[in-house]
Amino acid sequence: MSNSHKPAPTPPECHRGRSPELVSNSHNRLGLAKYAATVGIALSLIMVQATIEYRELDLPAGYRWKDHLVSAFSLPLQLICARIPDTASMAPRIIALHAGLLFDSKTKAFRQNVSIQVDTETGTIADVFERDASADKAIKPSDIDLRSKVVMPGFVDAHTHIFLHSYEERPAQEQMRDESIVERTVRATNHVRRALLSGYTTYRDLGSEGMGSFDANLRDTINRGLIPGPRLFVATHALTSTGSYEMRTENAANGVAGPTISDSCDGPTGVRRAVRRRVADGADVIKFYADYRRKIMRFPPVQTHPYIGGMPFPPRDANPQVVMFTQEEMDCIVDEARLAGLPVACHAGTARGAIMAAKAGVTSIEHGSEGGDELLKELRRHDTILVPTLAATEAIRKDQVEAAQRQAKRAFDMGVRLAAGGDTGTFNHGQGVRELELLIEAGIPVEEVLEACMVGGWEACGGDACGFRFGWLAKGSRADIVALDADPREDKQALRKVSFVMKDGKIWKHAGVPVGVIEPIMQESGQDDPTWQLI
């Protein structure tokens, strides 16, 4: 993560022409010049005083040079010290945020009059404390006043695809087959920016869907400060068995093929090798498919080959989901991922596939829509996280969303650990909180849904093994903070009303206005020359 960013000023200052970073840089330069001048004057004074002392060598008996030297240095030293606080105040390292209402995701409670101190140098929270409401007048103008907002940790989407956009706009097959690498990368750049501005400070991105390991490269551009976006944990390619998840065509005899959309692997050695390939490519999480509709070529459906048309008289279930790995292969995938210290996410649409994956010890089951109590008991037994992806079901199979919501509520009632991931990308990025809304509509209390999103999301990323702490607001955790205009316990659309976003101690949205989104393009060498009024 890039922790070097200083917090940007509030929006009114941002709209005065020059970017906040540039203003802040010139302030820093001014401060350093003043500091250098002060030190220079102080050293001169020392020299003058020392010269005078040297000439007055007619000293009384018992004179102590040491005492005299201290007095000679004391005035200049005081002058130097007096300048230091002045310089530091130009870019305060610690900034304070004052919340009216704060959601504590660890205790699942809303607390009043809480303030947070953020260390902008490390991007972490320095302190969280209850504020004396009667001392509100003491709030400094430079503090971030969120007393009229509902403050909480940044959202974590546990299941996303940064290179996909709404299937309503274009089916996944067409996106993967027809959109260029450049177009998909540019789209992803827009997706992650929109995600961040909607309050998502972390994304667990489960498969590049035809973009190889470019998700890892996009993650790196965010971490290097080139583009704004959530903290990304990426899977690169998902693992599948041979022939289970490739793009197929009926004219394959002539060598026609679409882009590779997964890493095909078979057998205990083969799947271990595939996990190692993912690790080598920079994966943060290993994703595999337990099952899929892999018999598609028996009765190719109309949506796969629109120019040919579907088959008349197909069997009752022409293309059911079927398991694609053996138990031994799943065990090996999980075991190999553990060697690398990575979590494992498993797509499962069948009860059989999901139960096998849970037994193998995966971190999370994605979808898990079939299997009822039998599956949920297994998930509970193995401490497997369930990511129900209700928003994708609503986007793609509206008729099944109520059943999926019932299953998610049942899972919650049975004590299964939940995380919130929309399979975002099947619908548009920036609307990730739809998953939270659907979980709340399913009957799960707001506080529980938020906790599942934030702390559950962190656990789905591997917990402490991922190297970061986020999803709750406490000393030492990442300063990922959002503020809403409304209380989600009273307003069903409150989660859409994100007015403030901070990630790693850097503000990206304030008073509903994006902040610092343009600045990365000005960071190239020479672009801070004020004679060029580019922005």
> Three-state DSSP class for 271?
helix
Q: How many residues bind Zn ion (CB under 5 A)?
A: 1
Q: How far is the CB of 245 from Zn ion (least distance, A)?
A: 12
Q: How far is CA 400 from CA 304, 323, 365, 405, in A?
A: 22, 21, 18, 9
Residue 26 C-alpha from the chain's centroid = 31
| Least Cβ distance, residue 22 to Zn ion (angstroms) | 40
Strands, DSSP E only, in 60-199?
A: 94-104, 109-119, 124-130, 144-153, 155-160
Residue 303, Cβ neighbours under 10 Å: how many?
9
With contacts defined by CB under 5 A, name the span among 58-66, 84-92, 116-124, 417-425 that binds Zn ion. Answer: 417-425
Determine how many CB atoms are found less than 10 A away from the CB of residue 270.
15
CB of 157 to Zn ion, least distance (A): 11
Span interacting with Zn ion, options 22-30, 260-268, 395-403, 421-429, rule CB under 5 A: 421-429
Specify the residue, 378 or 423, whose C-beta has the smaller distance to Zn ion: 423
Binding-site string for Zn ion from residue 376 to residue 415, where x marks contact by CB under 5 A and - marks none = ----------------------------------------
Shortest distance (Å) from residue 367 CB to Zn ion: 8
CB of 231 to Zn ion, least distance (A): 19
Residue 209 Cβ, how far from Zn ion at the closest point, in Å?
8
Nearer to Zn ion, 157 or 451 (CB): 157
Is residue 323 a contact partner of residue 267, using CB atoms and an 8 Å limit?
no
* Per-residue H/E/C for 128-147: EEECCHHHHHHCCCCCEEEE
Choice between 104 and 423, CB closer to Zn ion = 423
Nearer to Zn ion by Cβ, of 336 and 366: the residue is 366
Point out the residue whose Cβ comes nearest to Zn ion. 423
Tell which positions 503-522 bind Zn ion, by CB under 5 A.
none
The edge-to-edge listing of strands for the beta sheet with 231-234 is 155-160, 200-205, 231-234
Site for Zn ion in 351-370 (CB under 5 A): none
Residue 423 binds Zn ion (CB under 5 A) = yes
Closest to Zn ion by CB, 96 vs 390, is: 390
- Piece of 67-75, 146-154, 280-288, 419-427 that binds Zn ion (CB under 5 A): 419-427
Closer residue to Zn ion in complex, CB, 423/451:
423
HSE-CB at 249 with a 13 A cutoff on CA atoms is 13
Distances (CA, A) of 373 to 148, 380, 456, 488: 43, 10, 21, 30
The type of residue at 417 is R
Q: Least CB distance from residue 423 to Zn ion, whole Å?
A: 4
DSSP for residue 424: B
Nearest residue (CB) to Zn ion, 103 versus 245? 245
Residue of 327, 309, 308, 311 whose CA lies nearest to 319:
311
3-class secondary-structure state, position 337: helix
> Which region among 235-243, 276-284, 420-428, 505-513 touches Zn ion (by CB under 5 A)?
420-428
CB of 421 to Zn ion, least distance (A): 8
Is 215 a binder of Zn ion (CB under 5 A)?
no
Instruction: Tell me the window of 144-152, 274-282, 423-431, 504-512 that interacts with Zn ion (CB under 5 A).
Output: 423-431
Residue 506's DSSP bridge partners are 503
In the complex, what is the shortest distance from the CB of residue 35 to Zn ion, in angstroms, rounded to a whole number?
Answer: 53
Q: Which is nearer to Zn ion, 394 or 423 (CB)?
A: 423
Which of 120/350 has CB closer to Zn ion?
A: 350
Locate tokens 């009765």: which residue?
299
SS (H, E, C) 428-475: CCCCCCHHHHHHHHCCCCHHHHHHHHHHHHHHHCCHHHHCCCCCCCCC
Stretch that binds Zn ion, among 6-14, 283-291, 319-327, 418-426 (CB under 5 A): 418-426
What would the two tokens of residue 338 be? Answer: 């553990």
Residue placing its CB nearer to Zn ion in the complex, 14 or 391: 391
Binding flag, residue 205, Zn ion (CB under 5 A): no
Of 241 and 262, the one with the shorter C-beta distance to Zn ion is 262
Angle ∠(2,7,12) on CA atoms, nearest 5: 140
Shortest Å distance, C-beta 164 to Zn ion = 8
Based on CB atoms, which residue is closest to Zn ion, 425 or 462? Answer: 425
In Å, how far from its chain's centre is CA 129?
A: 25
Shortest reach from residue 238's CB to Zn ion, in Å: 8
CA 490 centroid distance within chain: 27
CA–CA gap between residue 156 and residue 18 (Å, rounded): 33
Residue 131 C-beta: closest distance to Zn ion, Å: 42
Judged by the rule CB under 5 A, the positions of this chain that interact with Zn ion are 423
